[in-house]
Amino acid sequence: METNSERKSSLLFNIITLLGFLTGVFLIMFLKQGKGRKSEHPVGMESNSKDRVKSSPIDTPSKIDMARLNGRQQRILSRLGEEGRMDPKEIYDLAPNVSTRTIRRDMDTLVGLGLVSQEGSTKATTYIFKG
Q: What is the pLDDT of residues 61-119, one digit of tens each?
A: 445 567 788 889 889 999 999 999 999 999 999 888 999 899 999 999 999 888 999 99
Q: Is the pTM of this model over 0.85?
A: no
- Coil/strand/helix, residue 78: helix
Q: How many CA atoms lie within 13 A of 119 on its CB side?
A: 8
User: How far, CA to CA in Å, does 80 sit from each of 17, 39, 101?
Assistant: 62, 30, 19
Q: Pick the more confident residue, 118 or 52.
A: 118
Which tens digits make up the pLDDT trace of 10-29? Answer: 888 999 999 999 999 888 88
Give me the pLDDT at residue 2, please.
Answer: 65
- Coil/strand/helix, residue 55: coil
92 CA to centre of own chain: 21
* C-alpha–C-alpha distance, residues 63 and 27, integer Å: 44
